Amino acid sequence: MALYSDKVMDHFQNPRNVGKLDDASGIGEVGNAKCGDIMRMYIKVEDGIIVDCKFNTFGCGSAIATSSMATELIKGKPVEEALELSNKAVVEALDGLPAYKLHCSVLAEEAVKAAVKDYYDKNGIAYDPELFKNVENCEHCQE
């Protein structure tokens, strides 16, 4: 069996929404170059809806694929719904990931949350800090 599912390979080789947004409402960056993966997520919010979303990723095949899938899953969705995106949903949408690559999906979830948090912060929108307690807290980057 191949290392990655066809869907992972498709999203890795043809990533959706790759790039930057100059007029982003929120930008989230998670990960650590030392650990070998960094994701940067850009969201553009209009009337509470994520109308556009782009990403830049430094990392392995599954890091790129999970970033790509995460952007597809949140684009067009209300911000609150994006916040509910779980790493599990990203993994399922990609038809699975090898166990030792699951942290990439966690990173994708956290990148989305970090971008939303940035949007909230920039726009003075109140939120429950509990929602973001894990953001920028990639467990395997903790020394």
Partner 1 sequence: MFVYADNAATTCVSRAAVDAMLPYLLEDYGNPSSLYAFGQKAQEALQASRETVAKCINALPREIYFTSGGSEADNQAIVSAARAGARKGKKHLISTKFEHHAVLHTLSKLQKEGFEVTLLDVHEDGVVRLEDVEAAIRPDTCLVTIMFANNEIGTIQPIAEIGALCRERGIPFHTDAVQAAGHTPIDVEAMNIDMLSMSGHKFHAPKGVGVLYAKKNMPLVNIIEGGAQERGKRAGTENVAGIVALAAALKESCDHIEENTAKIIPMRDRLFAELSKIPHSKINGSLEHHVPGTVNMCFEGIEGESLLLLLDKEGICASSGSACTSGSLDPSHVLLSLGIPHEVAHGSLRLSIGEYNSMDQIDHIIEVVPKVVAYLRSISPVWDELEKGTREHLI
Binding site for partner 1 (CB under 8 A): 9, 12-13, 15, 18-20, 29, 33-40, 56-61, 63-64, 100-101, 140
**Nearer of residues 99 and 126 to partner 1, judged by Cβ:** 99
**Nearer of residues 21 and 131 to partner 1, judged by Cβ:** 21
Q: CA 49, 73, 15, 5: dihedral to nearest 10 degrees?
A: 180
**Could you give the residue numbers annotated as active site?**
35, 104
Minimum CB distance to partner 1, residue 11 (Å)? 12
Q: How far is CA 90 from CA 10, 65, 111, 126, in A?
A: 14, 10, 12, 27
Assess contact for 107 and 37: CB atoms under 8 A. yes
Minimum CB distance to partner 1, residue 112 (Å)? 15
Going by DSSP bridges, is the β-strand pair 37-46/49-58 parallel, antiparallel, or unpaired? antiparallel
Minimum CB distance to partner 1, residue 24 (Å)? 13
Assess contact for 24 and 50: CB atoms under 8 A. no
